[in-house]
Structure 1
Amino acid sequence: KRRYAQELGIKPKDMFVVSIMPCVAKKFEAQRPEFSQEGVRDVDAVISTTELAQLIRHDGIVFDQLEEEAFDQPFGLVSGAGVIFGVTGGVAEAAVRTAAHLLGVNVGKIDYQELRGYDGVRTARIPLGDKEVRLAVVSGLDNTTKLLDAIKAGTEIYDLVEVMACPGGCIGGGGQPHPNDREARHLRGAGLYRTDRSLSFRNPADNLAVQKIYSEWLGGPDSHACHEILHTRYHPRRRIDGKPIRVTRAPIEEPLEVAVCVGTGCYLRGAYEVLAKFTELSVREDVAGLVNLKATFCLERCDRGVSLKVGDRIITGVNPENAQEVFDREIADRVAVGHA
C-alpha cells in the first residue's frame, strides 16, 4: 500500500489488499499491530489456497478451459529463487543465490542438491568464491527444537538456518489441500523446482521489477527504508510457552494422556473453546481423576480443525461444535473401558 497507493494516486485506506497464502497463521499475522500504519493494515484479508480453490469452484471457473495469459505487473516477473521459497530448502537456496550475486560470484544455473529433500534436518557447506557458507535446513517444530539445542550447546555452528514449521515447507501448509499427504507434498515440491528451471532468471537480483523497487523506492538492500519495510523483529508468540502445560492432573499411576493443540492454526479454529469444553466435561463426566489434560503448542496436523493427542493417537477435525461427541467417543468411553 505504501508504494502502489502513491503510484496510483489514491489513499492507502482506499486500497484493499488480499493475500493468498498456504498458511493459516498468516491470518493472525496480518492482524499484528506492526503491520499497519495509522490504523490502516498492510494486508486487509488473508485467504488460504484451499479457500481460493473453493471460491473458484463456486464460481464455475474451470482452469483447463481458460486461455493462458501473463500475470499482471508487478507479479508477472518472478525469479526461480522466489518460486522455490515454497518448499523446504528453498529459502536457504535463494539466500545462497543472492549471496553469490552480492559477492560477485557467478554460480550459473547450479542446483544446490545438498539443500533439497525432505529429511527433517539437512546441512551443507557451500563454497562461494573464497568463502564457505554453513547452512542448516530444518522442517517440523520437533526437529527445530533439537537443532536449536545443538546450536545453543555449541556443537553445531551455522551462518544461516532455514526453519519451516510445516513438514516439507509451505507446500504442506495448513491452508493447503491435503497438507498431510506426503505424495502430494512431494509432487508440489517437484513442480516448484520444474518452474524454477524453466524461468529465464533464477536470481532475484536479475529481476527487473525488483531492481525498479530498489532504485525508485527502497534505495538499496541496507537502506533505512529496507529495514523499516522489509524486516521484522521476532519474539515469542506462544499463548503457552515452553513445555505442554498441564490443565488437570490425575492421581492414578497410568492416567489417559490427552493433549489439545493451541498453536496458531488450531487457535484460529477454536482450540481454546475445545480445551475449556474438555475441562468442563472431565469434571461433569467424573473422569477428571483418570485423565491428564494438557495444552500443547503444535501437533503439525492443523489442516482440518483442532488437533488432539489421546494416548499415542492423533485426532484431527475437532471443533467447538463436535467437542462433546469427540470427548465421549475418544476419552470418556476409553476411560470407562480401561477402568471397568
Structure 2
Amino acid sequence: MPVDTTLGAVPHSPGAPKPDPILVVDGVRRRFGGMVAVDVEHLEVQRGAITALIGPNGAGKTTLFNLLTGFDRPSTGTWTFDGRPMGRLPAARVARRGMVRTFQLTKALARMTVMENMRLGADRQPGESLATALVPPLWRPREREITARAEELLERFRLLEKKDDFAGSLSGGQRKLLEMARALMSNPVMIMLDEPMAGVNPALTQSLLGHIQALRDDGTTVLFVEHDMHMVRHISDWVAVMAEGRVVAEGPPGSVMADPAVIDAYLGAHHDTDLGDDALLEDPEGPDEAAGSAQRREERP
C-alpha cells in the first residue's frame, strides 16, 4: 500500500510539525532520582500514518510509551491527543479516549480463555454495574455485540479456532496476535505497539506486518517501538529516533537510516556504515528499560 503522502513536505528534523497531528508532546521529562530517562522537547505523530519509534536499548522508548498511556507519571511536560489534554490521566481513561497500547511482554490472562480475554477489552459493558448485572435483559444485547465483535477480530487474526482454549496454551506469536486483537475491541483511534515482533516466529511475522498495515488502511493511527529494522523500513510512513531520552532524528525510513545522528545513536560515533544492514541495528541485550537509560547519564541542568 502507498505511504501517507501528506508527510512528503514535512522537514526531516526532530520535532518537525505534521500536517494533521493526532498526538502532540511538549516538554515531557521523566527523572528517576537524579537521572533523566526521557527528555522529549517536542514530538508530533501524524494522524492515519504508521510511525516507528526506534533507538538503542535504554533510549527511553518504552518509558515514553508508559508516560503517554498513563502507566507512569512524568516529572514535567504536557501532551494532547486528538486535541484534548491527556497529562496525568489514568491508563483506563486514556484507553477510553481512544489511545490503547500493547506491551513488550504480552499481558494475556493465561487462565482465561481466548474469548474471555477478548471480551475484557471491550468498552461499554453494562454488566459491570451491580444494578444492571442482576437484570439480564439489560446486558445480554451488549454481550452479544461484544461476542460478535470478538469473533470477527479472532477470525481476522486467525485465532477463531482457539477461542475456547486457555490463553496460556497459545504460542508467543499467537499471544501477540491476541493482545493486538484485544486492543482493537474498543475501536481505538490510535494503537501503540511495543515491540510487536519480539518473540514472534518467522511464520507469523508476515501476518503481523499485514495486520499493522491493515490498521493504517482502515484509518487507525499506529505508533510502534521496534528493533527489527526490516519491519521498520517495510511498513513505516515516518520514523522518529530516540537516544538518551531525546528525539534526535525524524524522517521517512530511507532518510533516517542515513542520518549521522542515527548512526551515532546506534554505533557511538560517525562511521561509513550502511544502517540498512539489520544486524547492526538489532540490539541483542533485550527490551528497552527506563532504569538502563537512567544509569547511562546524569541529569542535564
> TM-score, normalising length from structure 2?
0.22
Q: Which has the larger radius of gyration?
A: 1
The structure, 1 or 2, with the larger RCO (C-alpha pairs under 8 Å, 6+ apart) is: 2
